[in-house]
Amino acid sequence: MKNDLLLKAARGENINRYPVWLMRQAGRILPEYRAVRNSLDGFKSLVKNPDLCCEVTIQPVDILDVDAAIIFSDILVVPEAMGLNYEMIEKKGPWFEKTIRSEFDFKKLDSNIDINDRLGYVFEAIKKTKKELNQRVPLIGFAGAPWTIFCYMVDGQGSKTFSESRKLLYQNPILAHDLLNEITNTTIQYLKGQIHNGVDIVQIFDSWAGILPKNQYEEFSMPYLEKICNAINEVPKTIFCKGAFSSIKNICLLNCETVGLDWTMNIPVVRTIVGEKKTLQGNLDPCLLYASSKNIEKETQKLLDSLSSKRHILNLGHGVYPDTNPENVKTFIKTIKNYEIN
């Protein structure tokens, strides 16, 4: 591979500069993305079109000069594969017609699904993208963490509180574990399919980690993350648990190469916990990219100067916000690429 810095950093190998990519780099900020998106009748038509997924996956590599591509898809393809169809409503987000609130709902989910049959369109996009990338940079595969997917399957839409999901943990913990187990098994098959078709590294997004108290996070999310980590040994794994700083010590014990940090988390503190055993990823505030280019450079430089280990992948602390100016993203990336490690 021409540029394998991301994989080297993930494995803890020697690097002479830090790799950089951005969560949500493919579908949010580029006018070139919007042009492709607007040529279709909806988000799902894009997700199910391998040629166009390939095109928008590579756009940030060409335009922003990032050190990795992330396959254009969504975490919600997994509940759909399990039998819960979703719609992506313009300006509102995902909406599921059916939700899982009872054993009766749970029993109606499709069991023993054929992952190639249900999610073959993602695998097709991965195959095309790998070919098209021609070994320029690594391709990142991804899935939602079981807890985060559970939130959408139970609440049925985006939410600030996901109180239906949280209610179920108190009212029917056995059903909650049954559903989390099913999601976990499908996710493992899905990630193995992505790897089989060519992704070089995988990231698990636990976007709603931060809404649970520590004890519930460790009961209802972490055992499933652990199961996934132990099942996937073919490529390096990154675990990103947004907002779960109270469980960070235990997250750092997971069988993964990289731990993703959000912008509220303290890199030196986590470095003290992990020593040289893990790579850390993150964690500039996505809102920094609204600042002047001078301040973006200054704050990025400050983070780079503060790093005490080469086991680091530069990124934001969450996905890049949709109204971010791509020029500011370029400033962020250039600052990192010009920074030589001692």
41 is catalytic: no
Which residue among 74, 182, 200, 257 contacts ligand 1CP (CB under 6 A)?
Answer: 74
Q: Mark residues 32-71: x for contact with ligand 1CP by CB under 6 A, - for none.
A: -----x-----x--------------------------x-
Q: How far is the CB of 122 from ligand 1CP (least distance, A)?
A: 11
Which residue among 26, 30, 153, 288 contacts ligand 1CP (CB under 6 A)?
Answer: 26
User: What residues contact 210, with CB distance under 8 A and at least 6 apart?
Assistant: 241, 242, 243, 244, 262
Q: How far is the CB of 26 from ligand 1CP (least distance, A)?
A: 3
Which residue among 19, 27, 236, 282 contacts ligand 1CP (CB under 6 A)?
Answer: 27
Question: How many CB atoms are located within 10 Å of the residue 248 CB?
Answer: 17
Which residue among 158, 173, 213, 275 contacts ligand 1CP (CB under 6 A)?
Answer: 158
Closest CA to 40 of 90, 2, 91: 90
Site for ligand 1CP contains 93 (CB under 6 A): yes
Catalytic option among 18, 86, 152, 217: 152
Name the β-bridge partners of 238: 203, 258
User: What residues contact 98, with CB distance under 8 A and at least 6 apart?
Assistant: 84, 85, 105, 108, 156
Site for ligand 1CP contains 205 (CB under 6 A): yes
CA distance 54 to 131: 10
Site for ligand 1CP contains 94 (CB under 6 A): yes
Closest CA to 68 of 103, 125, 25: 25
Q: Closest CB to ligand 1CP among 138 and 310?
A: 138
The sign of the torsion formed by the CA atoms of 3, 255, 25, 70 equals positive
Q: Which two tokens stand for residue 279?
A: 């790579």
Using CB under 6 A, list all residues that contact ligand 1CP.
24-28, 37, 43, 70, 72-76, 88, 93-94, 142, 158, 205, 207, 319
Which residues are marked as active site?
24, 28, 37, 74, 152
